[in-house]
Amino acid sequence: MEWTTFRSGQHAPHSLARQAEASAADLTDDELIAALLEATLSTAEELCSVPVRRAASLAGWIDLHQIWYICAMALPDKVLVARFYRLASGREPAREWLLELSAEDRKSIGRDLMKIEFGWPCGPPLCRPLTGYAGLYEVRSRLTDGRNGRVFFTVSDGIMVLLHGFIKKSRATPEKELKLAERRRKDYERNG
């Protein structure tokens, strides 16, 4: 691999060097450090790129290992990946239901789904298995106006399949909602 040496004495692979010079020139030092800490650094080669090394030298108290550690810990891997259940017709009922909700309610449910994706397995009050329905789980989200949203899902090979969503209006979960989610779970197991 060929390396570029900069005026500052920093080194980087040629491809990353060109990219770094173009993007880092417009940023202040603080913006550069903040951007680096937010960026996804997927390879050791990227950790040696000019912006990271420049940020390390500018910050003084941060060395490359600390930047790598901060980035790695701030961006954990998902345990589950959420996917919407798809009918044979191509429709995705859970997605359609979510899109009917207000932006604030979608964000609330999205945050709860993200917590499960990164923190699986997790339990109440966020998530619980549905009694009497093996393999079915419920995400419990607090929505605007004191309403409660529920998303039923199943887990298969590291995928969180979002089967059905609804607004819960009574204390007990309606049997028709449970049966619909169970039917979709069985269909997903059969047909993928």
In contact, 177 and 152? CB cutoff 8 Å: yes
Measure the CA–CA gap between 180 and 85, rounded to whole angstroms: 12
Measure the CA–CA gap between 120 and 113, rounded to whole angstroms: 10
Spell out the residues 6+ positions from residue 36 whose beta carbon is closer than 8 angstroms to its own: 51, 52, 55, 67, 71
At residue 108, the pLDDT reads 92
Measure the CA–CA gap between 162 and 160, rounded to whole angstroms: 6
Distance of CA 28 to the CA centre of its chain: 29
At residue 38, the pLDDT reads 45
At residue 19, the pLDDT reads 45
Measure the CA–CA gap between 62 and 55, rounded to whole angstroms: 8
Spell out the residues 6+ positions from residue 7 whose beta carbon is closer than 8 angstroms to its own: none
Paired sense of beta strands 159-168 and 148-156, if any: antiparallel
Query: What letter does residue 124 receive in the DSSP assignment?
Result: T
Mean pLDDT of each 10-residue bin along the chain, 192 residues long:
43 42 52 46 42 51 54 67 94 95 93 90 92 95 94 94 95 94 96 84
Token pair listed for 13: 């692979």
